[in-house]
Amino acid sequence: MKSLFAAAIALLLPFLAAAQLRVSGTVTDDRTNQPLPGATVSLQNLQTAPGAQTDANGSFSIDNVKPGSYVLKITYIGYQTWQKPMNVNSNTTIAVKMTSSSTNITEDINVIATRAGSKSPTTFTNLNHKEIQKNNLGQDLPYLLSQTPSAVVTSDAGAGVGYTGIRIRGSDGTRINVTVNGIPYNDSESQGSYFVDLPDFASSVDNIQIQRGVGTSTNGAGAFGASINIQTNTRRDTAYAELNNSAGSYGTVKNTVNLGTGLLGGHFSVDGRLSRISSDGYIDRASSNLKSYFLSGAYYGKSSIVRVNVFSGHEKTYQAWNGVPADSVAAGNRTYNELGYINSRGYYYNNQTDNYTQNHYQLLYDQKLGSKLSFNGALHYTKGYGYYEEYKNADSLKKYGITPVVVGGTTIAATDLVRRLWLNNDFYGFTYNFKYRPNNDLNVLLGGAYNQYKGAHYNNIEWTQESTSIPPDYEYSRDNAKKNDFNTYLRGEYQLGKVLLYGDLQYRHVYYSFLGYDRNLNNVQQAVDLNFFNPKAGITFDLTDNSNIYASWAVGHREPNRDDYTNSTPASRPKAETLHDFELGYRTTGHIFSGGINGFYMLYKNQLVLTGSLNDVGAAIRTNINDSYRAGVELDGRLRITPMLSWAANVAISTNKVKDFHQFLYNYDTESNVETVYKKSDIAFSPSFVGNSEISFRPVKGGEIAFISKYVSKQYLDNTSNVNPQGVPSAGNNEYAVNRYLKSYFVNNLRLSYNFQAWSLKNIGVSFLINNIFSAKYSANGATYPDIEGGQVVNYNYYYPQAPRNFLASLSLKF
């Protein structure tokens, strides 16, 4: 009878939950109608739960409320506390408008200058702290963004730990602008963002906004595919301690400690985090050993806030960045890693590793200068240093400036050796913005930044198998680079009835000094100066209080990267890229359904791509393509089917083309380049369809079952759309080597979570994440190096296979 009773109760729980009432609504600024994400909402006298926080759209929902009398209380930093008595006898929805306090200032000023608002005429996705943390079980930050529109992520090690990457609208990380509290994060020279350098950074993130396309003016690298704006932890009024531990497949372990004092004396707070992550990786010898910390202290005055952030990350990863050869994948060995291979007996060099430390220092200052004007400034400094070590077989001594030695009458011209390639860099500067709001209809921002980068690239030989005359740590090359990046922008929004007019003007100047080839092929220090003007304009029309349509046009420019400069002469040096981005969309927010549709047309001028040709110094570099474009539509929505069941989904359908693409294949038979012209072909790594789905079921309070799906269509490895070129590879005829593309894939994950209170703990959270539950065999990234041998096209393809079914489990304790 007890078993029958328990079973009956379990079956009735969903219906009992459904019988409870709900209090929901939106929280906005009373002057601008902008949503206030992160506001604390509570129902006084509610015993079962303290309340909720508003999401990125300013929406909140408190479920399982019993009928009765309550006081609804809402607090938000920089705003007067809002509270109202209410009788709850049925599901209740309320729209709350909060009034800014004249004696306080909000802490999000330092990022608002680079963000889009709810009415901005551009497309964006907001993720709040809760949405970020529900998937934060140890995988790198790009994996936590995987379900956002047009995003495709990949992992070198195959399981999401270590080196990972993200593409948005087909654009890789070098074309995605990333800022942390408004401060640039992209590497100044390569322009990439290496999140492996800040392991478990997501545990110190409060919210993220992803803008697709050019977006609003931002600091740092030009946004050609998207921009990712990250805000770290903000004020928490009560003291807390959190322990988060995860473990899973491939020896993956994550340990995180979060501590905070809450608000001390009404003015001070200190927060800290300590993390470590280790994983063996799915790919052979693709281990990761990662450590990081985050420390933040803040002072809150009547009209100012001062915050100091100090955070650091250290990574040691076994190199897996070359991928798995096509022949190995075809033979069924999806985990083969050739890096560090020493000899035919199967020996591998055990220190074929990448080692890097990155320390960040940020001083953020917010000052309210009056009821209409506020200022934010930030000083920052980043110190990065490290190397990657590799074993080279029978390498030429002349390559390293070493005179061949004679031993016993035999000239030693080549030897096995171990080398270290070092990078020691400093990045520092300041950002600023003034925000002027004279009335409810006008909002003006004046901002910008000046940043300087100094990078020392130097390479050493650590060991040689054959005796040579070189000293210990012999340095065979050095390149000192310097880059200054200045920008300033003026942005305004004017509300004219139901119409919002938007304008944004940015000027950016780049100075770059580097060691490169001059016109006489001498390797000398030289410099370039670049000036960019990036105008943007748009319009938004309010259809209702919760829906609008918008249109915008934006221009972006992007300079070539370090390799483009150092491996060319002024005669062959590529030009900067230009992008004209047109966006048109509709969006709506509501309690039952929120979503939108966005169409885009991105027209590139002088886009940089690899063609296979060699320049005047004999290097295979990127060259400018005169005409290429991306056009598509993105749809996203979230449907609340019942109080327990919801479905969120997004789809991106696009066509991505390059016109008059010239590919050059080296013909080993004739020792010459063979040119092929493609009138219109697909841009590499640009799937025409990307879809995401998350079905969430909450049968009991605090419990959730989420079924997560992702589909990515076929992607080409180069710009030729070449599915089946003539001829077969010399290593054998298999689909992985004959075709230069990544096959489409459909991956499904299952996430189970349950949060509850017990003993003196504020929360106990248990999560279980099963990735790729059907063990789909797929690769999310790859590379191709075709040539002509024996009159046939030979493809040397490499793939990054992703792990089959694997899991992560976590236990979170909050005190």
Q: Indicate the average pLDDT of the chain.
A: 89
Q: How far apart are CA 493 and CA 502, in angstroms?
A: 5
Rg (CA), the chain: 28
User: Once rounded to an integer, what is the mean pLDDT over residues 129-143?
Assistant: 92
Whole-model pTM: value is 0.88
Contacts of 506 (CB under 8 A, 6+ apart): 217, 487, 488, 489, 532, 533, 534, 535, 536
Q: How far apart are CA 733 and CA 563, in angstroms?
A: 34
Instruction: Give the tens place of pLDDT for each residue, 9-29.
Output: 444 444 444 447 888 888 987
Contact criterion met (CB below 8 Å) for 596 and 590: no
Query: Is the pLDDT at 102 greater than 70, yes or no?
Result: no
- Give Cα separations from 788 to 144, 433, 610, 670 (angstroms): 41, 55, 17, 9
The strand pairing partners of 227, in sequence order, are 177, 211
Q: Which of 588, 625, 598, 593 is nearest to 610 (CA)?
A: 625
Three-state secondary-structure class, residue 379: strand
Residue 729 pLDDT: 42
Query: Is the pLDDT at 731 greater than 80, yes or no?
Result: no
Q: How far apart are CA 192 and CA 558, in angstroms?
A: 13
Contact criterion met (CB below 8 Å) for 178 and 467: no
Q: Which of 717, 555, 529 is nearest to 224 (CA)?
A: 555
Contact criterion met (CB below 8 Å) for 257 and 291: no
Residue 78 pLDDT: 59
User: Once rounded to an integer, what is the mean pLDDT over residues 343-368?
Assistant: 92
Residue 465 gets which letter from DSSP?
A: S
Confidence of residue 369 (pLDDT cuts 50, 70, 90): very high
Domains of the chain are: 21-98 (2.60.40.1120), 240-814 (2.40.170.20)
Contact criterion met (CB below 8 Å) for 468 and 432: no
Confidence of residue 114 (pLDDT cuts 50, 70, 90): confident
Residue 727 pLDDT: 43
Give me the percent of the chain exceeding a pLDDT of 90.
67
Residue 46 pLDDT: 54
Query: Is the pLDDT at 728 greater than 50, yes or no?
Result: no
Q: How far apart are CA 685 and CA 151, in angstroms?
A: 12
For the four alpha carbons of 62, 63, 65 and 67, in that order, the dihedral sign comes to positive
Contacts of 671 (CB under 8 A, 6+ apart): none
Query: Is the pLDDT at 763 greater than 70, yes or no?
Result: yes
Give the largest Cα separation in the chain, rounded.
100
Residue 110 pLDDT: 59
- Strand order of the β-sheet with 324-325 is 324-325, 797-801, 779-784
Three-state secondary-structure class, residue 175: helix
- More confident site: 494 or 610: 494
